[in-house]
Amino acid sequence: MHLVRFSHFQPNPLYESVVEGVELFHNADCDAIMAIGGGSAIDVAKCIKLFNNMDHSRNYLEQTITPNDIPFLAMPTTAGTGSEATRYAVIYYEGAKQSVTDNSCIPSVVLMDNSVLKTLPDYQKKSTMLDALCHAIESYWSVNSTDESKAYSREAIYLVLANMDGYLNNEDTGNEGMLMAANTAGKAINITQTTAGHAMCYKVTSLFGCAHGHAAALCVRKLFPWMITHTERCIDPRGRAYLEKTLDGMAEAMGCDKVTDAARKFEDIFNRLEMAVPVATEKEFTILNSSVNPIRLKNHPVLLDEETIDQLYHDILREAKQ
């Protein structure tokens, strides 16, 4: 067996890197794909797989995806994105985030080895764990939630909270449990997609250079308590009472008696991890406000208008002194 290695990509990978990967796949006459790495590595591999049988003379993002059966194995080396369990890949084209979606990009085989987490820097361990927790929480309250997705979300939340200490202490059992938490949360968002927390976090990542999970947690920590006090703006077709019951279920999943306690628990986790809160200028707030993907807001159960998004960003980030 001959292996061809491709690693010419970066975190938040670029479309151009995927094009290079597709060319290598063809020129080296490859017949299978193995992705070993975090979410960016797996997402690049997914796109190489999906773009492989398209017209190589045209922009792949402008073409219709045709599923293929190229064997695809993934081995996640971070416990956060859950990309190995989803039909979604995220890449960037001309500075804008692009979501590439098809069921045929879900890896047919997933290997999980807790030893790969041993050498992760602390910041990456914390950020990826927060990403998994945000996935589980956002999936739970998504308008697309089902009984199956909520079961995955509850299990993922339990696994994150139960394994957090061991994971942060780099213990084998904690690392193994967090890999399972991320994978289970991935199965949840594969059904529901993410919501406003992720819609609002992507530009935070690119503007301030923080990891994706860090940015998602920055947003969810303020979005969560805001939602609790604004359920009258419910847009979930199942109604306000259903949303409030869902939020109560979230509290139970997080081991809390009240949903306000659950929101506070999330904030406490964020603070305990000593994650930085970036400082934004008014110009940056304007950029952030215009960056939110309205499609993902449709998945969110509480209406967010432009004024609310601006208020939330000012709450999420520290404001630069004039």
Beta bridge partners, 35, equal 74
Closest CA relative to residue 184, chosen from 222, 213, 146, 155: 155
Please check whether residue 215 is in contact with residue 206, taking contact to mean a CB–CB distance below 8 angstroms. no
Give the Cα separation of 217 and 198 in Å (integer). 9
C-alpha separations of 113 from 110, 166, 170, 175, 242 in Å? 10, 16, 13, 9, 39
- pLDDT digit string, tens, across residues 63-84: 999 899 999 999 999 999 999 9
For 32-71, list the strands marked E by DSSP.
33-37
Please check whether residue 24 is in contact with residue 6, taking contact to mean a CB–CB distance below 8 angstroms. yes
Residue length of the chain: 322
- pLDDT digit string, tens, across residues 127-153: 999 999 999 999 999 999 999 999 999
Q: Which fold has domain 15-110?
A: Rossmann fold (3.40.50)
Give the Cα separation of 126 and 274 in Å (integer). 9
Which CATH architecture fits 120-319? Up-down Bundle (1.20)
For strand 96-101 and strand 88-93, is the pairing parallel, antiparallel, or unpaired?
antiparallel
Low-confidence stretches of the chain (pLDDT < 50) are none
- pLDDT digit string, tens, across residues 251-291: 999 999 999 999 999 999 999 999 999 999 999 999 999 99
Give the Cα separation of 72 and 70 in Å (integer). 6
Q: What is the pLDDT of residue 172?
A: 97
Closest CA relative to residue 116, chosen from 152, 87, 165, 80: 80
Q: What are phi and psi of 312, to 5 degrees?
A: -65, -45
Q: Domain map of the chain by residue range? A: 15-110, 120-319
User: Matching CATH topology for 15-110 and 120-319?
Assistant: no
- CA 187-193-196 angle, to 5 degrees, is 135
Ramachandran area for residue 92 (φ above 0: left; ψ -120 to 50: alpha; else beta): beta
| Identity of the residue numbered 90 | V
Q: What are phi and psi of 35, to 5 degrees?
A: -110, 120
Instruction: Give exposure, 133-161, as e/b (b: 16+ Cβ within 10 Å).
Output: bbbbbbbbbbbebeeebbebbbbbbbbbb
Q: What is the pLDDT of residue 322?
A: 59
Q: Please identify which residue in the block is written with the tokens 């790969």.
A: 116
Give the Cα separation of 12 and 228 in Å (integer). 32
